[in-house]
Amino acid sequence: MALVNAGVVVLDCAEPEKLAEFYKELLEAEEVAANANRVEVRAADGFRLALRRDVNATAPSWPRPENSLQVHLEFVVEDLDAVERRIVSLGGRPMEAGDAGSPLQERGYADPAGHSFTLRHGAPTAPKQG
């Protein structure tokens, strides 16, 4: 038996119920647990995300001057344009676009609470530069 099992990604935010709605819609996920300070959702592929209440939460400052994301979510999609329209309709916002001519197309976004995430067509093949 493994000493450590895969857990869940947890994002702190001021209003977990509202942010859970964003991710439930985006990921076509279901709510699997909730209490006064935390909501957890699970996507059909098993990905789990929890939103935890932090009454003092502030939006992350991304992009940072030193161009360091620190932590962000990454989602693999088939149609970048269609998913972008969905993100915007749910209250998210575009942050940056990758090189359109690149074989590895990716785009950066922020959820309604300001957490960064990336959409991409495939797995990364090299470290982020610059």
Q: What is the pTM of this model?
A: 0.76
Show the tokens assigned to 10. 């947890």
The model's pLDDT over 34-61, given as tens digits with 9 standing for 90+, comes to 999 999 999 999 999 999 999 988 877 7
Domains of the chain by start residue, with CATH: 8-56 (3.30.720.120), 59-130 (3.10.180.10)
Burial 59-93 (b: 16+ CB within 10 A, else e): ebebeeeeeeeeeebeeebeebeebbeebeeeebe
Q: What is the DSSP string of 15-40?
A: -HHHHHHHHHHHHT-EEEEEETTEEE
Collect the ranges in the chain with pLDDT lower than 70.
Answer: 1-4, 62-71, 97-104, 122-130
Distance CA(63)–CA(80), nearest Å, equals: 21
